[in-house]
Structure 1
Amino acid sequence: MCGIVGFVDKTMLNKKPVINDMMEMIKHRGPNSSGEYVNDEVALGFRRLSIIDLKGGSQPILNEDKTKAIIFNGEIYNFQPIREELIAAGHTFTTHSDTEVLLHGYEEYGIEGLLKKIRGMFAFLIWDDTKKELVGARDFFGIKPMYYYHQDGMFMIGSEIKSFLKNPKFKKELNPEALRPYLTFQYSALDETFFKNVFRVPEGHYFTLKDDKLTIKKYWDVDFKANHLSLEDTINAIDKSISESVDAHRISDVEVGSLLSSGVDSSYITSVLRPEHTFSIGFDDKKYHEGIAAKELADHLGLENKSDVVTAQEAFKNFPLIQYHLDEPDSNPSCVPLYFLTKLASKDVTVILSGEGADELFAGYANYGWHSHSKAIRVFAQGLKKLPRGARVSIAHGLKRSPNFHGRLHLYEATAPAEEFFIGEARIFHEADAVKILQPAFKRSETVEQIVTKSYKKVRHYDDEVKKMQYLDIHQFMPKDILLKADKLSMANSMELRVPFLDKEVAKVAEGIPTKYLLNSKDSKYALRMAANRHLPDAWARREKLGFPVPVSAWLHDEDIYKEVRDLFAADFAAKFFDQAAILKLVDDYYNNVGPDDNRRKIWTVYTFLVWYKVYFIDNEKPEFIPDKNKQTATVQA
């Protein structure tokens, strides 16, 4: 696991000090060593966190005749058999690293042939000095980040946007169109980031840059096509794929641990991996302490569990640092516990396995159609799903117009076309409400409908609404929020976080599972839970999804924190973006228990943006970590 950065510029004469400054900005991604490749046209920089081939895996790595150079962030889990193929084909290796396999694989198979063969998480760059061409790729799901900036003959690319700030030709500007959709989605939802002219290489895509012409091409996508396996065969296939994926993801020359929450996803991974170390996190509000349940499971499995408590003071004092590491504002409250959880784990291990991706591949979100605890309503909804599409849509439209009753939302979402109600696994401000609080200069952007339609158009032939929702989340919420925070906040603490659910072989299994085995009257993620039940007690296999529960409401009702938030809302610069009277009323009313409880997420989303903006456009420096001096050492009793 590493950080990579590079730029192509034929006019810059002294590239080495610039690439070194850019690398220094992402030192946290690779504190063990660094390296660079520089010539008249290109500069490639690399920061290393040593995981595999500890003595010989330094980068950049060059091929035999020194005409190609590679830098790589990630892990290739099947690199060893590919290495043997390449040796048999006549390639000479100087290391035992997966990085060199990518380089020789590119020579042997070409970029598309290589991408068909490999299994893993990756973002890599290869400079071909013979062709004067830069080639790069991002993994299937977007586990590893890759950003680029292409202006006036300068092309920059890297793991984190902050590294671009050290290139004198980078023009730092706020993208005004990013704010409006962010208020709805809670994350940076556009292809262009919050930094003007900085874009992401999309998940499952590779690019080539030659003669200043950039070409980006898709090489992989998820494709849901239901098979005809029985439920038992489906459960067998899931468990086999997960077990094999965990085995692949345990490959390392350093110790591997796991993150453990109270949910089924991380519990399943942990029960298969059986690591020496597991880690959990909670808050000083006891309603939000996952460590208690996690320790019970660790004791049941005979594993060590380390747990810590995050205090409100720790969370707020270090929230600017968290937003700094994310590069863009992300108001998902789980960013806070994830940062502190990886900080805790970094004291004992360098690699951790986690449960991201299971909800998207195996239909675990309530918004896919799990809004009622009434079994009768769930059974009735399951029956409605079997009706012809026209009948389902007609029923949905009737339910939408009808007065509210218990189960109405569940029945509506079981029958309505996904495009009519689902924008992804988050909706903070309704679009009209977001527009009301924004200043005119920030009201112009793609609409929410335009953003999600890009994904829905690709699956318009699907007759299964749940599969449409899964596809949208796989291309919006997962890479732009879930995986982004998993990568950035683990790397902030120099940790490699691996996600065994997001393996292309696991995806092959998930693609074929009929929705009736995933979301039905019995449970969400039903078949996955049944597979997990082979390794876990019933209580854990069937535990209701919580995510990372975070006490945002309690924080906003704390007088000191309320004043801190209010002061930021009242700051002069906040008036540039928002109707200040409106956002001050929002926070005042909530503190005084006026208005709906869901306003806490709206306040948190506005607050997050203002904190992020202050870090990157006012303070212009990395915040320091601030410990809570009054914190007591946490212990968790099973």
Structure 2
Amino acid sequence: MCGFTGFIGNTDNEFKVLKEMMDRIVHRGPDSSGKFVEDGVALGFRRLSIIDLEAGSQPIYNEDESIVLIFNGEIYNFIELREDLVARGHVFKTHTDSEVLIHGYEEYGTDLVGKLRGMFAFVIWDRSEKKLFAARDMFGIKPFYYAQMNGTLLFGSEIKSLIPHPHFLKEFNENALKPYLTFQYPVMNETFFKGVYKLPSAHYMTFEKGHVEIKRYWSPKFKPSNQPLEELVDEIDDVVRDSVIAHQISDVKLGSFLSSGVDSSYVAALVKPDKTFTVGFSDENFSEIDNAKELSNELGIQNISEILDADTCFSKLPEIQYMMDEPHSNPSIVPLYFLAELASNHVTVVLSGEGADELFGGYEDYKTAPALKKYKKISRLIRKPLGVVAKWMPEMKGKNFLIKGGLPVEDWFIGQAKIFSEEEATGIVNSDYSKSLKVKEIVKPIYDQVKHEDDVTKMQYLDLHLWLVDDILLKADKMSMAHSIELRVPFLDKDVMATASKIPSKYRVNHINTKYAFRLAAGRALPKKSANRKKIGFPVPIRHWIRTDKYYQEIKQYFTGNAATIFFNQAKIVALLEEHYQGKKNNGRKVWTIFMFLVWYKVYFESDSLPFVETNSDQIKQLTKI
């Protein structure tokens, strides 16, 4: 819907500073802007018009203007909330969903966030109490960053919006690099910019008299039901259909992203928009366009697609990393950037299938292979020591089998990405960057909340808190908003979660399939082939690109450049690149993870300036010219 930024603290030229901050995120809201500035408090808003196009501009005030709001997202149950608030005497000035937050805060206080159904990040400033209240949605669909620097609280939808403030201290966080090399995404609450933090999903923040306080307001819980499978499948289909309807509220054109997977296919089949959008690569096995077109034809929908090439993708890598704010090496960010660009030529809102895997058990890692099941029948007294020894063995066939068969899930599962092992990451970074949190210290607080659950639930719980928030949803928000479109994710809905939590693990993952009960529900809207198609993800041929001389040479320039010597053992990372280029090993993901970090660092720390207005490729190319 939009983006916001702001600060609390005495600032010279506060109107000018706020405008510069807002200009950094004009891509999030090109339709209009709004400001509130008073006594050292500044709130800035950029609007992408979706609901109540005429009267929905922000900031929004209550009746006596004692409370002011800036908000990013959509509240899907705003009509019910509005009716309750009107009945309690509140007077509304607009028909936008945003206004229920103002009156809801007046009526319910901090309990407001527990009543919301939607995706959101917002800031409310109480002018009478001199108090800020801010919150982020339960799944972390919308981002929220904050920092306290030089006596000023800074906050915004994107980190780049904080940088123009004169009190902002741009400093690299040396503790962020090593965990990133393992997870492929920024996994800690403190970002790659020292002193800049993410407000965690399902948390709210208050700021009063210089003090920040953060509290959790919701936590996912799995409570399996004894209901018959057919009854559970009925509930899944009912709640998904209801959520998809709720997520279609819009006064602008709406479409749907479509891969060959069951998740986006289910959404597209229920929405039946005029258009679906798909991208792929010409490389064999790296495109889902044919499957997407086939389903679209069956549904009577126009599928608009684009085939991407390596030159186009490489030319946009600096801009992609700029838009992401922090280094992010999930290769799927690249096609997602172009998919959002493709859709933006036709619609303003798109629905997508993110979240179904985490809620309903969709990843292959959640399955136990038949051979592993047999192995686990052997006494744990034998399996455990073999698993412990295997953890310290070099990469070889059978290593993961022994680890998974002998050690508890908490000791080996860290989510859907594991690029470098902790030992490998420590071995390639210079000593100043090796002292960050250990992987175990990052995952343990999450696992501690589900000590007594089964392994499938533990893995889903970890993915809900790390992978979903900081990889899947972060890239979905940043890449869609880079092209001024709003991405909605109907599976990540509080009512859908309530149903998903009832599904026993045997109906989430079993010997037949992942997302077993979910696929049965999807089969009521989809052809059987689409409902049961194996998950592909968003395949990107990076391993082939890196073995092409042109891109190998480009990456090598980064690996042998000055920045690489600051952070890495240069000989080791060049060796990784050479092994891959020569076909001796498949180091593609490892090389790409280092490469993306160095591209990001060049954009944010080696360039003399950053664009203050809407980013375009010419600006980025100029900033990152080698």
Task: Give the TM bin, normalised by the shorter chain.
Answer: over 0.9
- Report the Cα offset of residue 417 of structure 1: 2.1
Q: What amino acid does structure 2 have at the position aligned with 1:485? A: K
Give ranges in structure 1 of 5+ residues lacking alignment: 628-638
Partner of 1:7: 7
TM-score, length of structure 2 as denominator length = 0.94
- Inter-partner Cα distance in structure 2 for 1:408 and 1:70: 54
Secondary structure at the aligned position of 2:163 is classed as helix
Secondary structure at the aligned position of 1:166 is classed as coil
- Report the Cα offset of residue 369 of structure 1: 2.4
- Inter-partner Cα distance in structure 2 for 1:91 and 1:304: 44
Partner of 1:446: 437
Q: What amino acid does structure 1 have at the position aligned with 2:123? A: L
Give ranges in structure 2 of 5+ residues lacking alignment: 620-626
Distance 1:74 1:469, change over 3 A: same
Partner of 1:507: 497
Would you say 1:468 and 2:458 are equivalent positions? yes
Secondary structure at the aligned position of 2:162 is classed as helix
The 10-residue stretch of structure 1 (325-334 or 278-287) with the greater mean CA deviation from structure 2: 278-287
- Report the Cα offset of residue 499 of structure 1: 0.4
- Inter-partner Cα distance in structure 2 for 1:103 and 1:392: 57
Partner of 2:523: 533
- Inter-partner Cα distance in structure 1 for 2:183 and 2:396: 27
- Inter-partner Cα distance in structure 2 for 1:340 and 1:482: 16
- Report the Cα offset of residue 365 of structure 1: 1.1
Partner of 1:176: 174
Secondary structure at the aligned position of 1:72 is classed as strand
Distance 1:553 1:578, change over 3 A: same
Q: Is the 8 A contact 2:372 2:405 kept in 1?
A: no
Counterpart selection for 2:125 from 107, 122, 127: 127
- Inter-partner Cα distance in structure 1 for 2:374 and 2:397: 13
Would you say 1:584 and 2:574 are equivalent positions? yes
Secondary structure at the aligned position of 1:86 is classed as helix
Counterpart selection for 2:610 from 585, 599, 621: 621
Partner of 2:541: 551
Partner of 1:565: 555
- Inter-partner Cα distance in structure 2 for 1:19 and 1:69: 16
Partner of 1:71: 70
Q: Is the 8 A contact 1:377 1:411 kept in 2?
A: no
Q: Is the 8 A contact 2:67 2:126 kept in 1?
A: yes
Counterpart selection for 1:604 from 577, 592, 597: 592
Q: Is the 8 A contact 1:284 1:312 kept in 2?
A: no
Percentage of pairs with the same residue: 50
Q: Is the 8 A contact 2:222 2:457 kept in 1?
A: yes
Secondary structure at the aligned position of 1:285 is classed as coil
Would you say 1:53 and 2:71 are equivalent positions? no
Paired residues for 1:158-557 under 5 Å: 158-369=156-367, 372=369, 377=371, 395=383, 413=404, 416-462=407-453, 464-557=454-547
- Inter-partner Cα distance in structure 2 for 1:522 and 1:405: 29
Q: What amino acid does structure 1 have at the position aligned with 2:463? A: D
TM-score, length of structure 1 as denominator length = 0.93
Secondary structure at the aligned position of 1:341 is classed as helix
- Report the Cα offset of residue 461 of structure 1: 2.9
- Report the Cα offset of residue 174 of structure 1: 0.4
Secondary structure at the aligned position of 1:98 is classed as coil
- Report the Cα offset of residue 554 of structure 1: 1.1
- Report the Cα offset of residue 41 of structure 1: 2.8
Q: What amino acid does structure 2 have at the position aligned with 1:625? A: S
- Report the Cα offset of residue 624 of structure 1: 3.5
- Inter-partner Cα distance in structure 2 for 1:567 and 1:509: 51
Distance 1:361 1:392, change over 3 A: farther
- Inter-partner Cα distance in structure 1 for 2:598 and 2:398: 38
- Inter-partner Cα distance in structure 2 for 1:144 and 1:429: 28
Q: What amino acid does structure 2 have at the position aligned with 1:447? A: K
The 10-residue stretch of structure 1 (552-561 or 67-76) with the greater mean CA deviation from structure 2: 552-561
Distance 1:415 1:583, change over 3 A: closer
- Report the Cα offset of residue 455 of structure 1: 0.6
- Inter-partner Cα distance in structure 2 for 1:224 and 1:535: 26
CA offsets, 1:301-320, max 9 Å, x none? Answer: 11110000111001111001
- Report the Cα offset of residue 234 of structure 1: 1.2
- Inter-partner Cα distance in structure 2 for 1:486 and 1:310: 19
- Inter-partner Cα distance in structure 2 for 1:550 and 1:119: 34
Partner of 1:634: none
- Report the Cα offset of residue 243 of structure 1: 0.6
- Inter-partner Cα distance in structure 1 for 2:298 and 2:507: 28
Distance 1:436 1:405, change over 3 A: closer
Q: Is the 8 A contact 1:261 1:280 kept in 2?
A: yes
Q: Is the 8 A contact 2:386 2:406 kept in 1?
A: no
- Inter-partner Cα distance in structure 2 for 1:401 and 1:166: 51
CA offsets, 1:597-616, max 9 Å, x none? Answer: 2x100000000000000000
Partner of 2:34: 35
Secondary structure at the aligned position of 1:56 is classed as coil
- Report the Cα offset of residue 413 of structure 1: 3.8
Q: Is the 8 A contact 1:393 1:417 kept in 2?
A: no
Distance 1:427 1:17, change over 3 A: same
Q: Is the 8 A contact 1:318 1:626 kept in 2?
A: no
Q: What amino acid does structure 2 have at the position aligned with 1:2? A: C
Q: Is the 8 A contact 1:466 1:515 kept in 2?
A: yes
Alpha carbon RMSD of aligned pairs, Å? 2.1
- Inter-partner Cα distance in structure 1 for 2:231 and 2:218: 26
Q: What amino acid does structure 2 have at the position aligned with 1:475? A: H
Partner of 1:635: none
How many correspondences in the alignment?
Answer: 612
User: Where does structure 1 differ by over 6 angstroms across 4 or more consecutive aligned residues?
Assistant: 390-394, 399-408
Q: Is the 8 A contact 1:205 1:217 kept in 2?
A: yes
- Inter-partner Cα distance in structure 1 for 2:541 and 2:239: 36
- Inter-partner Cα distance in structure 2 for 1:435 and 1:301: 51
Distance 1:43 1:497, change over 3 A: same
Paired residues for 1:138-153 under 5 Å: 138-153=136-151
Partner of 1:98: 97
- Report the Cα offset of residue 367 of structure 1: 1.5
- Report the Cα offset of residue 411 of structure 1: 8.7
- Inter-partner Cα distance in structure 2 for 1:401 and 1:432: 15
- Report the Cα offset of residue 408 of structure 1: 8.8
CA offsets, 1:373-409, max 9 Å, x none? Answer: xxx548758xx6xx8xx96686565577699999995
Partner of 2:22: 23
Secondary structure at the aligned position of 1:184 is classed as helix
Distance 1:546 1:509, change over 3 A: same
Q: Is the 8 A contact 1:334 1:550 kept in 2?
A: yes
Q: What amino acid does structure 2 have at the position aligned with 1:3? A: G
Q: Is the 8 A contact 1:317 1:626 kept in 2?
A: no
- Inter-partner Cα distance in structure 1 for 2:14 and 2:485: 29
CA offsets, 1:246-294, max 9 Å, x none? Answer: 0000111112110000111100111111111100000132421111110
- Inter-partner Cα distance in structure 1 for 2:399 and 2:171: 45
Q: What amino acid does structure 1 have at the position aligned with 2:516? A: Y
The 10-residue stretch of structure 1 (156-165 or 586-595) with the greater mean CA deviation from structure 2: 586-595
Distance 1:514 1:421, change over 3 A: same
Q: Is the 8 A contact 2:7 2:154 kept in 1?
A: yes
